[in-house]
Structure 1
Amino acid sequence: MGRLKDKVAVVTGGASGFGEGMARRFAEEGAQVVVADLNAKGAERVAGEIGNGAIWTRSDVSQRSALEEMKDAALKAFGRIDIMVNNAGFTHRNGDMLEVDEETFDLITAVNMKAIYHAALAVVPVMEKQGGGVILTTASTAGLRPRPGLTWYNASKGWAITATKSMAVELAPKNIRVNCLCPVAGETGMLARFMGEDTPEMRAKFHASIPLGRLSTPLDIANAALWLASDEAAFITGVALEVDGGRCI
């Protein structure tokens, strides 16, 4: 306990799935947490269940103003931001890349890509003034070993991985570490979209592609995020950590 004592963490997409797992795990290890999500009721629920040391914000990460408001809420409540987790994500349904409409494509790029830019504009000056910090993005194995049927999602996660590495190099002199997680498909609200349909047969197909034989869980991702966010990983920056049961081997 206490691996994030005196740290303040902001987690987007914190109302469910991987984000909820990270928010809860960070709080268990002593962090004060901002649970940010477009789903205000879900964010309020998670923050309420965490209790003291957690607040929530309704945040549409595709909008620059929302990220600024999220930053301001964190600073007003806790006075600093040590850890910024870009976890909110969106995908199209598994299928023909030519059948993804432009509105869906634009939303994927706004949430999976542009939100990282918005977050950097908001928190990097704060972290630099403090003397350092951690930026962590939930990317995907899709950005490393793309599956057919998720072309535009795959591309957005490849972008996130490259952005992570470039940001890490540029921000290292400011003592800001930048890493990303690459989970394999997990038990989250987007699973059915990833698979195309959520059936026992489709799950079996996905399980068969993962050497450890199961999907990822929010706790798997949260534990990996905890390490990267903690001082135990003080010399780790620019990595795309595979949390995938061997999928990318």
Structure 2
Amino acid sequence: RNRKLKGKVTLKSPRRGKRKDLLELARRNGQLALQEQAQRSRLREEEPLRELSRLVGLEQEPERIEGYDISHLRGEETVGAMVVFEQGRPRTDCYRRFLLRSAPPGDDYAALQEVLQRRLSREGWAEPDLILIDGGKGQLTAARQALNLAGKLKLPLLALAEDPEQIYLEGAASPVLLPAHSALLQLLQRIRDEAHRFALSYHRRRRSKQGRRSLLEDIPGIGPKRRAALLNHFGSINKLLQSTVDDIKQVPGFSERLATRVFNFLHGGSER
């Protein structure tokens, strides 16, 4: 069991003799161990990039890889996501989200093309060395069309499908299958899964906001200004749901009758 020591604790560092030699030896061994660990880590990160360059036919390892995914629910609130990996590591400060504007609802190919065209039109963004798409042959073809329209005819592109994991390459007759323990496959999976996670989290947030707006829009006699006043006063729909009639009356422009109507509507009672 732990016991608290009474009195001061003094740490001493030998300055000469055998004890100093032992301390210096331990320090050097520690430094060597850290250097070897760092070197092994670099090799683990560099090897799949070298294999990727050979697979795609690049002259050197891709430094910046961008991954893309589309997320929606039955065509509603469609969003796109871009994630960035540099030297095999995520660069979260470079991640970007896209709210779809023109793609028809439920058309994943058109949504992917819109996202890529908007991304490639951005000035000042670093150029990718490789683009990874979440999907199969159809997504790969749609992405190439978007890249060609943007003038990126030579930008390398591949797609990763799942169940089973298959890598689709341009010009290849059939997809590439790699063993589950492949370091390259695991790298591509991390990028693909991160793009999926990022897109899904944005989509869920959009749906949550839309749900809150729809709930307030259904309350009779509550227009845009009063909806904004409610959200500004309570800060969130959850806090509004926890409020009483007296709490709602404190919102500017809400009489007791109107506050009662809001409260009853939110809690399933009469609207009058």
Q: TM-score normalized by structure 1?
A: 0.32
Of structures 1 and 2, the one with the larger relative CO (CA 8 A, separation 6+) is 1
